[in-house]
Amino acid sequence: MSLDLGAVGYETAPFTFEYDFKTVILYALGVGCTENELDFLYEGRGPRVVPSFAVVPSYPALEPLVKKAGADMTKVVHGAQSITLHASIPSAATLTTIAKIDGIYDFKRLSQVVFSTRSYHKEQLLFETEWTLVVRDTGGFGGPRPPKGITVKVPAEQAPQFEVSETIPKAQALLYRLSGDLNPLHADPAFASEVGFEQGPILHGLCTFGYVTRAMLFGPCNGAPERLRHVTLQFKKPVWPGETLRTLGYAGLEQRFALSAFASDRPEAVVGGWAEVTSK
């Protein structure tokens, strides 16, 4: 099966996403917020919004863009995710989002589909996202390789500037899916086994993304979500509910941090990437 290179550049019509404080609180619970983070869980304090909530208004674009690219959703795996924040996300709003297919890239045995979104509150650009999707059994069509992006490497022999460990509750994927990602891989043991995960349903990659984003809030952001400007993560290994996720951040140049996260006692990182914060 080959993908449709003619889909590159396709842009959706604007679509809306309306939400209230209950939506952002449910999302915060879905990415692990506890009673110690009451600013994100109680409307009497806002609530403030976990910055990784930026992925939620883009969910409606995912399946239509995958189909437009000619891909089969059953062969799609989430490879990487980025968010770029331009302003604080309000606790209730109606957002307008535009999505675009930025590229389709050839990796011989598989391919990548990259799409981006821009979300506005009224006329203000609030945030942008970039989604990298890996499509199995579709490579070898002679297409281009992806352009090189920014990387922030973990410095050799440097101790992490911050480390955050959290045990993921067994029911976390069942809670996170209520924010919009209803893939049965994260809920149905029989389905998970059929697609190769005999251990059971895995955690959403974007739930892990939310946990790592919260680790940035605990660390260099000093609890202030408005200080976070960018997060890019590559999903390397699955995470299972019940594991302990340990996120390490290493200070780099220009307020950028290299990030690695490990699950329980597994030696290889399950995600890696970088984030950028403002100085104040």
**CATH number assigned to the domain comprising residue 38:** 3.10.129.10
Residues 250, 255, 256, 261, CA torsion sign: positive
Q: What is the percentage of the chain residues whose pLDDT exceeds 90?
A: 79
pTM: 0.94
Query: Which pLDDT tens digit goes with each residue over 103-134?
Result: 999 888 889 999 999 999 999 999 999 999 99
Q: Which of 94, 125, 142 is the last residue of a domain?
A: 142
Q: Which of 103, 202, 219, 249 is catalytic?
A: 202
174/118 same-domain check:
no
Q: Which of 180, 205, 219, 272 is catalytic?
A: 205
**Residue finishing a domain among 99, 115, 142:** 142
Which listed residue (79, 103, 139, 181) is catalytic? 181
Please tell me whether residues 166 and 74 are part of one structural domain.
no
Report the pLDDT value the prediction gives residue 144, as an integer from 0 to 100: 79
pLDDT, greater one: 254 or 194: 194
Q: Given this model, what pLDDT does residue 150 score?
A: 76
Count CB neighbours of 6 within 10 A: 12
pLDDT of 2: 74
Residue ending a domain, choose from 115, 142, 169: 142
Q: How far apart are CA 233 and CA 19, in angstroms?
A: 26
Query: What integer is the mean pLDDT of 199-209?
Result: 96
Query: Are residues 132 and 30 both part of a single domain?
Result: yes
**Annotated catalytic residue within 186, 204, 249, 273:** 186
Query: Crossing angle, helix 21-30 and helix 205-218, to 10 degrees?
Result: 90
Whether cis (ω within 30° of 0) applies to the bond prior to 155 is: no
Confidence bin at 157 (pLDDT 50/70/90): confident
Q: Is 205 a catalytic residue?
A: yes
181 catalytically annotated: yes
1 pLDDT band, cuts 50/70/90, is low
Number of domains, the chain: 2
Cis peptide before 267 (omega within 30 of 0): no
Residues 47-90: tens digit of each pLDDT = 999 999 999 999 999 889 999 998 888 788 899 999 999 999 99
Residues with Cβ within 8 Å of residue 202, at least 6 apart in sequence: 173, 185, 186, 192, 238, 239, 240
* Mean pLDDT value across residues 192-221: 94
Range of the domain at 202: 150-280
